[in-house]
Amino acid sequence: MTPATIVHASQDELAARTAERLAAVLAEAQAARGTASVVLTGGRTGGAVLAALRDATLDWSTIDVYWGDERFLPGGDPERNETLARRELLDHVPVAPDRVHPMAPSDGEYGDDPDAAAEAYAVLLKDVPSFDVCLLGVGEEGHTASIFPHSPAVAETARAVVAVRDCPKPPPTRVSLTLPTIGRAARVWLMTAGASKAEAVAAALADADAADIPAAGARGRQETLWLLDKAAAGEN
């Protein structure tokens, strides 16, 4: 499916409109099936979207929350995407605790073993045939989730979740969904802002090889949507 692009005037507008769009899709899924599911991302834009989602009219008790990737750090570490999501959204809405599915921290039940944490998350996802929306960020070099250019993760086709070591950005060890797992989502939304992302965005939208620009390989079953501010769209 050919990706679509929506360009907003600013990062603030991008976050606000994306939150509105996400709330509408989740409400539609709840109306159709009684439940909904979303895969969260981190970063400045991801956090802003979550904060803007606090006031949405949703039945939070029937929404399953997953993560696309996680920094393999101790629980509660401010760099963890889970910590960001709880601070910006989950601690402010009546989400059902058993429907929140974080990736294990480095001081959790699997200890300092990111491979075990990845395998445990893959086992969890075996019973999840699809996600309604998978939110993703995009890095300056085109990474998405924790899938970096020319890394083993970008070439992974067999495993649903992998440990990622020696990341070029700190922290070096992470856990990430793979591109085939991201592709199980009905909708994949790639959100990014700023001129430093413009080159990677342009390459991805020009159908770059995923090995070079991993974000180019993130595609949803029904929709692939790039949500940008003007600066990030500047080379399109």
Q: What is the structure's pLDDT at 16? A: 97
20-to-57, 157, 166 alpha-carbon distances in Å: 10, 33, 36
Rounded to an integer, what distance in angstroms lies between the CA atom of residue 191 and that of residue 229?
A: 9
Q: What is the structure's pLDDT at 236? A: 67
Question: pLDDT tens, 146-174?
Answer: 999 999 999 999 999 999 999 999 999 99
Averaged pLDDT score across all residues of the chain: 97
How does residue 66 score in pLDDT terms, banded at 50, 70 and 90? Answer: very high
Question: pLDDT tens, 18-32?
Answer: 999 999 999 999 999
138-to-100, 157, 198, 217, 225 alpha-carbon distances in Å: 24, 21, 10, 12, 13
Cβ–Cβ < 8 Å for 18, 53 = no
Rounded to an integer, what distance in angstroms lies between the CA atom of residue 20 and that of residue 9?
A: 16
How does residue 2 score in pLDDT terms, banded at 50, 70 and 90? Answer: confident
157: burial class by Cβ within 10 Å (0-12, 13-18, 19+)?
exposed
Domains of the chain by start residue, with CATH = 4-229 (3.40.50.1360)
How does residue 235 score in pLDDT terms, banded at 50, 70 and 90? Answer: confident
Q: Whole-model pTM?
A: 0.97
